[in-house]
C-alpha cells in the first residue's frame, strides 16, 4: 500500500510517501498510465474514465440515477437532458462506452420504464480528430461509425471540448446539458520519469533499450504504458494490454534466468496478436495486420479471447455461463445506486442521498 514519490538510483532505493525507503538490486517500473485531461485536471471529477472500479461505479450510478429522475419528471425537455450522455474520445474505450450506453438505454426504456421513450435518449460521441478509431484501418473505422449511428449514437468529429461542467459540456461556445460524461480522450504515462529525474519521451513515457532497461539508469527496467519501447521498424509500441503482458512475461523470465547466470538480457520482440474494439451487441472489429474481422464473428472471437485469458478454469466456466445467460435474457446484475458514489458525481448538487435497487442495468 505504499505510494512512490522518488527513486534514488545512486543508492538503489525507492522512497515512499510515508518516508519509508526500500532498497533494491533490480527495479522494474510497471506503473501504467492515467487519463490525460490536457491541463484540465479539474475535469476529472465531472468526466471520469474507466481505469478503476471506483470510476466504473461512478458512471453506473450516474446513469442509474439519471434514468430514475427522468422517469419521475413531468417535463419533456428535462427528460431529454437527464437522458443525455456525452462520451469524449473516439478510441476503443469511447466507442465501446457509447455503444453500450445507447443499446442498454434503449432496451431498458422499452422494458422497465413507463414514461420514457427511445427519443428521450441521446448519446454523443465527441472526437477531436477526423474519424473514430484512428489506430485502426479506415474500413474498420467506417464500419464502427456506421454501426454506432445505426444504434443511435450521435458522432461529432473534428470537435474539441472547450469546458466540462457538473451538468454538461461546452462545444464551440454552445452548452450541451448532460447527466453523464465519460472521458476516453487519451492517456499519459505515470510519473516514473519524474521519479528518475530524466526527460520523458512522447506521452511522458520512459525511453527504454531493446532489453527494456531504462537508458542511463543501471539496474532499472520499465514496461507497459510507462515504457517507450520500439519495434523492429523503430516505431513506438502501442500502449496496449498485450504489449504490457508480453513485456512482463519476457522480463520476469529474463531476470530470473539470465541475470542469475550473469548473462545479458536479450532484446524484446513484440508479437502482435490483434487489436480489437467492441462496438455493441454482436458487433466488434479485429485487426490482425495481414487480415481483418468485423461483425458478429469478431464479437464472438473477442468473447472467446477474454474468457481464455481469465485466471483459472473456474472463472472461465462461471463467466461463460453468466455471459450466455445474460446474452439470451438481456438480464444484468445487481442494479444499485450507492449514495456515497453519487454524492461525488455531477448530479450531487440537486440529488438527495439514495441507496436503493433501481431499474436500469449495470
What domains sit in the chain, N to C, each tagged with a CATH number? 4-30+190-257 (3.50.50.60), 41-186+276-342 (3.50.50.100)
The confidence score (pLDDT) of residue 343 equals 52
What's the CA gap between 57 and 60, in Å, rounded? 5
pLDDT in tens, 161-182: 999 999 999 999 999 999 999 9
Mean pLDDT of 181-202: 92
pLDDT in tens, 30-83: 999 988 998 899 999 999 998 888 898 899 999 999 999 999 999 999 999 999
| Grid cell for residue 161 | 471540448
Judge whether 87 and 124 are in contact, CB under 8 Å: yes
The confidence score (pLDDT) of residue 341 equals 57
pLDDT in tens, 303-358: 998 899 888 899 999 999 988 988 888 776 667 777 665 555 444 434 333 333 33
Pairing relationship of beta strands 4-8 and 13-16 according to DSSP bridges: antiparallel
What's the CA gap between 227 and 192, in Å, rounded? 9
The confidence score (pLDDT) of residue 353 equals 37
**Largest Cα–Cα distance in the chain?**
74
Pairing relationship of beta strands 27-29 and 220-222 according to DSSP bridges: parallel
| Grid cell for residue 232 | 523492429
Mean pLDDT across the chain, nearest whole number? Answer: 89
Model pTM?
0.86
Q: Is the confidence at residue 13, as pLDDT, over 90?
A: yes
CA-based radius of gyration for the chain: 23
Judge whether 222 and 192 are in contact, CB under 8 Å: yes
Q: Is the confidence at residue 142, as pLDDT, over 70?
A: yes
Helix 138-150 with 92-112: angle, nearest 10 deg:
20
Instruction: Compute φ and ψ for 295, nearest 5 degrees.
Output: 90, -150
Amino acid at each position: 500500500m505504499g505510494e512512490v514519490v522518488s527513486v534514488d538510483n545512486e543508492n538503489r532505493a525507492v522512497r515512499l510517501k510515508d518516508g519509508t525507503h526500500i532498497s533494491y538490486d533490480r527495479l522494474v517500473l510497471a506503473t501504467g498510465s492515467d487519463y490525460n485531461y490536457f491541463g484540465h485536471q479539474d475535469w476529472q471529477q465531472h468526466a471520469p474514465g474507466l481505469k478503476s472500479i471506483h470510476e466504473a461505479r461512478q458512471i453506473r450510478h450516474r446513469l442509474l440515477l439519471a434514468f430514475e429522475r427522468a422517469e419521475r419528471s413531468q417535463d419533456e425537455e428535462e427528460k431529454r437532458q437527464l437522458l443525455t450522455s456525452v462520451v469524449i474520445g473516439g478510441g476503443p474505450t469511447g466507442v465501446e462506452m457509447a455503444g453500450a450506453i445507447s443499446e442498454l438505454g434503449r432496451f431498458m426504456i422499452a422494458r422497465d420504464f413507463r414514461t420514457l421513450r427511445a427519443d428521450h435518449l441521446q448519446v454523443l460521441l465527441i472526437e477531436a480528430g477526423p474519424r473514430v478509431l484512428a489506430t485502426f484501418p479506415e474500413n474498420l473505422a467506417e464500419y464502427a461509425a456506421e454501426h454506432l449511428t445505426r444504434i443511435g449514437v450521435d458522432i461529432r468529429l473534428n470537435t474539441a471540448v472547450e469546458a466540462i461542467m457538473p451538468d454538461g459540456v461546452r462545444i464551440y461556445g454552445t452548452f450541451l446539458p448532460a447527466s453523464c460524461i465519460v472521458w476516453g480522450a487519451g492517456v499519459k504515462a505515470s510519473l516514473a520519469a519524474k521519479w528518475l529525474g530524466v526527460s520523458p519521451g512522447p506521452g511522458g513515457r520512459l525511453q527504454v533499450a531493446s532489453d527494456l532497461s531504462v537508458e542511463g539508469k543501471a539496474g532499472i527496467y520499465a514496461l507497459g504504458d510507462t515504457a517507450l519501447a520500439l519495434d523492429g521498424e523503430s516505431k513506438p509500441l502501442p500502449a496496449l494490454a498485450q504489449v504490457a503482458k508480453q513485456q512482463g512475461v519476457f522480463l520476469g523470465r529474463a531476470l530470473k534466468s539470465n541475470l542469475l547466470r550473469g548473462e545479458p538480457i536479450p532484446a524484446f520482440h513484440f508479437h502482435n496478436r490483434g487489436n480489437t474494439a467492441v462496438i455493441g451487441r454482436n458487433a466488434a472489429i479485429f485487426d490482425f495486420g495481414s487480415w481483418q474481422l468485423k461483425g458478429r464473428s469478431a464479437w464472438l472471437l473477442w468473447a472467446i479471447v477474454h474468457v481464455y485469458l481469465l485466471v483459472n478454469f473456474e472463472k472461465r466456466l462461471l463467466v461463460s455461463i453468466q455471459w450466455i445467460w445474460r446474452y439470451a435474457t438481456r438480464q444484468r446484475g445487481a442494479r444499485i445506486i450507492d449514495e456515497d458514489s453519487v454524492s461525488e458525481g455531477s448530479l450531487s448538487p440537486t440529488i438527495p442521498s439514495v441507496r436503493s435497487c433501481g431499474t436500469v442495468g449495470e
